[in-house]
Amino acid sequence: MAFAQDVRSLSRAMREMGTPFAEYSSDLLVLNSRDVVDTAVADTVRQMEKLGLKQYETYVEERHVNQTVPITDPIKQNNPNNLHLFSRPPVRQKSRKEL
């Protein structure tokens, strides 16, 4: 039921705004809020596949090829401070008064 409602909401947003797949802009748009995200967030989304492939290659090399790390060792999480995400507000610079 919730999935069908989400599909209807997405369809309605696309009818009102036009299809986002036909746009030739480098901006990343949040459909439900109609906001254009910060360029840092858009760059992070564009780099996710490269980051994942690099982590996968490191995992395979360390655990299977070189066998320098036991296969039972946990995989390290990505540091969220290094990734600009949708839900995180942009980092605000301190004013001269605060410094």
How does pLDDT run across 29-42, given as a tens digit for each residue? 776 666 777 788 78
Burial group, residue 52, by CB count within 10 angstroms (0-12, 13-18, 19+): exposed
- Determine what percent of the chain is predicted with pLDDT higher than 70: 70
The model's confidence at residue 95, banded by pLDDT at 50, 70 and 90, is low
What distance in Å separates the CA atoms of residue 69 and residue 54, rounded to the nearest whole number? 17
pLDDT given for residue 14 in this prediction? 77
3-state helix, strand, coil in the chain (%, to 5): 45, 5, 50
Please give the residue that has the higher pLDDT: either 82 or 49. Answer: 49
